[in-house]
């Protein structure tokens, strides 16, 4: 009775959540039952706007497009949780979050297969020139008869595929390309033995592979890992696929190599996203471009949102996040 009276006199404040991207109405309605929401759904949220809204929030629910800087973290000690609807957390200053004991939630595992499927889609599209041929037909250029040298590509079953990064997505790609009959070579930052994969030095991987597929996370040590020198090692006609992070590839060097016509590429990620409207990549026939869609299936996005919401609710209840990206020492009840 006393408790009930107490609650009546001092209604329990709902925690405040800043949501930096549009979310399905059903998700927002469910969140509104528990939290007070501030939702930004007008495209990329400007940094000044995040800084302003962050002052009056307890948690941030965001994704890759929202940079969360050290400054934002340090100036908002009231923040109890950041939950990102993504596996990667390179848009968040993790050192600052960890120093502030601010837990950052992410969504591992559930997007592995979708991302590996997209890597395969890009491999096949690039090696068999699917997009280029589609443009050719739609452009009304298909007038010659069947010919033995018409739009020739290369076979996955005859290819050596080099996997850069043997984490969960790299391994899911290994499984898929082996099913196509490819030989697989691999490289990982800390050497990892994988059945059916021959470990090689990174430079040798670039020199030997017909297809290089990048699956390593963005980190200071992987920045521009795919450098001008490594691109120069690639065989004529070889293909590079990137479904990991743009920062892993030196994009200017890639553009230069692609413009020489020596290699092909399939890209889902870029150093700057969205890709600049004047990027030279847009005019190239030897590259297939996707707008960061690795995890873009309905089922995977649903699973990612479920993980992100579970992280958010746990953080705001003072509990450990089920999928925490930083090694925060939990000190709550
Ligand atoms: C996608 O790139 C992710 O990090 O979830």
pTM for the structure as a whole: 0.93
Q: Which of 83, 82, 86 is nearest to 111 (CA)?
A: 86
Q: Which architecture characterizes domain 2-109+298-331 according to CATH?
A: 3-Layer(aba) Sandwich (3.40)
Furthest CA-CA distance within the chain: 89
pLDDT of residue 4: 44
d(CA 266, CA 289): 6
Return the best residue to mutate from 87, 296, 325 for the ligand 1 pocket (most ligand atoms within 8 A of CB): 87
88 ligand 1 Cβ < 6 A? yes
**Contact between residue 27 and residue 37 where contact means Cβ atoms under 8 Å apart:** no
For residues 309-329, one letter each, b for 16 or more C-beta atoms within 10 angstroms of the residue's C-beta and e for the rest, the string is bbbbbbbbeeeebebbbbebe
Residues of the chain falling short of pLDDT 50:
1-7, 330-333
The DSSP 8-state label assigned to residue 181 in this structure reads T
Query: Residue 185 C-alpha to ligand 1 middle, in angstroms?
Result: 24
**Residue 245 appears among annotated catalytic residues:** yes
pLDDT of residue 327: 74
**Residue 74 appears among annotated catalytic residues:** no
Q: Pick the residue whose CA is nearest to atom 4 on ligand 1.
A: 88
Pairing of strands 211-214, 198-199: unpaired
Radius of gyration in angstroms for the set of CA atoms belonging to the chain, rounded to a whole number: 23
Query: Residue 46 C-alpha to ligand 1 middle, in angstroms?
Result: 20
The reply to whether CATH 3.40.50.720 applies to domain 112-289 is yes
Which residue shows structure tokens 């090694």?
327
Query: Residue 269 C-alpha to ligand 1 middle, in angstroms?
Result: 10
pLDDT of residue 1: 39
Q: Pick the residue whose CA is nearest to atom 5 on ligand 1.
A: 86
pLDDT of residue 15: 97
In the chain, CATH 3.40.50.720 sits at 2-109+298-331, 112-289
pLDDT tens per residue, range 161-190: 999 999 999 999 999 999 999 999 999 999
**Residue 292 appears among annotated catalytic residues:** yes
d(CA 65, CA 79): 19
63 ligand 1 Cβ < 6 A? no
């Amino acid at each position: 009775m006393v408790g009930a009276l107490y609650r009546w006199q001092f209604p329990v404040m709902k925690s405040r959540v800043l949501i930096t991207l549009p979310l399905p109405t059903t998700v927002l309605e469910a969140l509104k039952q528990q939290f007070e929401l501030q939702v930004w759904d007008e495209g990329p949220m400007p940094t000044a706007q995040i800084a302003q809204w962050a002052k009056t929030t307890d948690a941030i629910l965001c994704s890759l497009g929202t940079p969360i800087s050290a400054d934002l973290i340090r100036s908002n000690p009231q923040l109890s949780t950041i939950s990102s609807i993504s596996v990667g957390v390179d848009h968040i200053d993790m050192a600052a979050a960890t120093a502030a004991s601010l837990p950052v939630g992410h969504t591992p595992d559930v997007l592995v297969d979708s991302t590996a499927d997209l890597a395969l889609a890009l491999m096949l599209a690039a090696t068999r020139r699917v997009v280029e041929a589609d443009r050719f037909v739609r452009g009304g250029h298909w007038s010659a008869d069947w010919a033995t040298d018409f739009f020739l590509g290369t076979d996955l079953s005859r290819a050596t595929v080099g996997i850069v990064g043997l984490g969960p997505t790299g391994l899911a790609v290994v499984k898929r390309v082996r099913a196509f009959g490819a030989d697989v070579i691999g490289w990982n930052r800390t050497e990892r033995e994988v059945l059916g994969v021959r470990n090689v030095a990174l430079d040798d991987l670039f020199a030997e592979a017909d297809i290089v597929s990048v699956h390593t996370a963005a980190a200071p040590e992987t920045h521009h890992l795919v450098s001008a020198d490594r691109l120069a090692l690639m065989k004529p006609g070889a293909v590079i696929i990137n479904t990991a992070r743009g920062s892993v590839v030196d994009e200017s060097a890639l553009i230069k190599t692609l413009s020489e016509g020596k290699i092909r590429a399939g890209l889902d990620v870029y150093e700057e996203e969205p890709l600049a409207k004047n990027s030279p990549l847009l005019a190239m026939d030897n590259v297939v471009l996707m707008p960061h869609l690795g995890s873009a299936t309905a089922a995977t996005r649903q699973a990612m949102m479920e993980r992100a919401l579970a992280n958010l609710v746990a953080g705001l209840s003072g509990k450990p996040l089920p999928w925490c990206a930083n090694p925060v020492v939990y000190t709550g009840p």
